[in-house]
Structure 1
Amino acid sequence: MTDCLFCKIIAGTTPAHLVLETPEVVGFLDIRPVFKGHTLIVPREHIATMVELPDELTVPLFGTARSVAAAVRNAFGAQGSFVAVNNVVSQSVPHLHVHVVPRTKGDGLRGFFWPRTKYADDTEAAEYADKLRGALAEG
């Protein structure tokens, strides 16, 4: 889909801090993270919501989200993660994406109120992407 931001990231025509690429999915840092290291996992195929997700992409998408949820602990010293999918409501980009947010007890995230933060600059975002790629490579 030519006007979809995530399709443009997948195609490489819009820059993003990629943390992983497989034949089925791509992972990259959210540009408005809840906490630094907040990653979005998206199917390469343009699929609007989880309702339309074909069975054959369920395991690649959610298996990758599981791997990223494990990796954020090692990459960022997180105690755990918050994993979420919005469908239409609160879905700022109409391309299915799984949020994986690093969490630490007392981090201030409560319920479904998602305060957002910013990376200091592109260099800091690249450092977070590098750390997560490294943790994913370690398995």
Structure 2
Amino acid sequence: MAGEPQDDCLFCKIVAGNVPATVVRETDTTLAFRDINPQAPTHVLVIPKAHHPNAAALAAADPALTADVLTAAQAVADVEKLDSYRLVFNTGAGAGQTVFHAHAHVLGGRGLQWPPG
């Protein structure tokens, strides 16, 4: 069921405190932590604490929680002193999503080319 913790989800395990992470920011509804394979000097993942398999499912099920994720991403950028940054939501394996729990990548600290890749 959407929103319920999933036993096989890495990010649900991080939310539960069963897998360690370097937490940058936490709210009642979101958790932000450093990516273990950073792609930029600042690379933080912002997740909803409730399980949703991807950004599209999150937006459809809970627009307010989607807004919380975006607000948390901005707060991370502020804490990390990023005047410019990129937010990335990979949705689906073909787009590079490897953990099927909605999450935003906050990337910054260097010039970021467009298009990415």
Q: Same fold (TM over 0.5)?
A: yes
* Aligned position for 2:105: 99
| Runs of at least 5 residues in structure 2 that lack an aligned partner in the other structure | 1-5
Provide TM-score, normalisation by structure 2.
0.82
Q: Spell out structure 1 runs of 4+ moving beyond 4 A.
A: none
Q: Return the offset for 1:22.
A: 0.8
Is the 8 Å Cα contact of residues 72 and 81 (structure 1) preserved in structure 2? no
Structure 2: how far apart are the matches of 1:92 and 1:86?
Answer: 9
| Runs of at least 5 residues in structure 1 that lack an aligned partner in the other structure | 114-139
* Aligned position for 1:41: 46
Q: Say which SS state the counterpart of residue 40 (structure 1) adopts.
A: strand
Q: RMSD value over aligned CA atoms?
A: 1.6
* Bigger CA radius of gyration: 1
Greater share of helix: 1
Q: For residues 19-53 of structure 1, what are the alpha-carbon distances to aligned partners after superposition, in whole Å with 9 as ceiling and x for unaligned?
A: 11111000000000012331000000011111111
| Amino-acid identity (%) | 33
* Aligned position for 2:71: 63
* Aligned position for 1:28: 33
Provide TM-score, normalisation by structure 1.
0.70
Structure 2: how far apart are the matches of 1:36 and 1:103?
Answer: 5
Q: Say which SS state the counterpart of residue 42 (structure 2) adopts.
A: coil
